[in-house]
Amino acid sequence: MSQSALDVLGQDFVFPNKIEGVPAQLSDFAGLQIHHFTTSDGVKLAYWEAGAGEPLVILPGWSGHGADYINVLYLLQSQYHVYVLDPRNQGLSARVNYGARIARMAADLREFIDQLGLETACFCGHSMGSSVIWSYIDLFGTQRIRKAIFIDEPISIYTHADWNEQERLDAGGMTTSAERMMAAFAGVPTNGMIANLGMLMQRAVAIDSPYYHNSVAFAQAVIKPDMTYTGLVLFDHIMNDWRDVIRTKIDVPTAIFTGEYSDNLPSQRWMHAVIAGSELYVYTKEEQGDHFLPFKNPVKFTKDLTLFLAR
């Protein structure tokens, strides 16, 4: 039985912008496949797959999924065997009312690479996907990670009351109330002192890149998100503080991506300072250097990523 993306999704898709070097329609991406596996707690997870060669496992951010990575997958397939895992309650994976914790998602990641039979792989996390990798490292170590890539994730979203301002910046603290931040993600108005989401939300809705326009349109056509389920992980995600993991447990070559349009930039500089030998990529505003940089500027991102992985 074919598991091509075209067959699994049951439809072709014509992208709104025709751009040289990436697909004009889904059927142009002949090697894209979508598969599923079932976790030890009975959750059917989807993953998107393309290419051959060294394995690269990508963990999307909160509410993210493989459809967001349509251009990234296409651009990387010639050199890497790329997998994008849809987390539970996201993308094409099953909706369940249990296991909505970063640690359980880290266990899902471990079971996923076991399912694939990967002895080692490069791990790339965008936003919350970075937290999943940090949790994986905390629980299982780095023995099966050849290189790690983290894209613009705060080290602690929750701002502790006893921090000074420099500690908040170093950690990337964005809120003093997990519940109020969760409400803000659901569209409830708040202020920047309670939940600092202004830049993030502005850049999310800024369709100022034809690549981003294409991936957003594709995602909206094939994925049916449900905030009832995607929201379940938010409290745990917000309240985790990963500073100890980053300071003491990351001992593999590491790349950190962020940008001038991101409020997370100070925390990414802190992470670069404490992970020995890490490389920091700061995209300018002209290079679409925001939280969504892999989707807005996939050509530069995949070029930088490929050079890092090849070293």
Of 179, 180, 172, the C-alpha closest to 152 is 172
**What is the pLDDT at residue 2?**
59
Which structural domain, as residue segments, surrounds residue 260?
Answer: 5-310
Full pLDDT tens readout for the chain, 311 residues: 559 999 999 999 999 999 999 999 999 999 999 999 999 999 999 999 999 999 999 999 999 999 999 999 999 999 999 999 999 999 999 999 999 999 999 999 999 999 999 999 999 999 999 999 999 999 999 999 999 999 999 999 999 999 999 999 999 999 999 999 898 888 888 887 778 888 898 899 999 999 999 999 999 999 999 999 999 999 999 999 999 999 999 999 999 999 999 999 999 999 999 999 999 999 999 999 999 999 999 999 999 999 999 99
The C-alpha atoms of residue 294 and residue 258 are separated, in whole angstroms, by 10
Give the contacts of 257 (CB within 8 A, at least 6 positions apart): 149, 150, 151, 152, 268, 281, 283, 293, 294, 301, 304
| The overall pTM is greater than 0.75 | yes
Of 8, 81, 95, the C-alpha closest to 45 is 95
**What is the pLDDT at residue 1?**
53
Name the token pair of 187. 């569209």
Other beta carbons less than 10 A from residue 98's beta carbon: 11
Domain harbouring 166, CATH code: 3.40.50.1820
Total domains in the fold of the chain? 1
**What is the pLDDT at residue 175?**
94
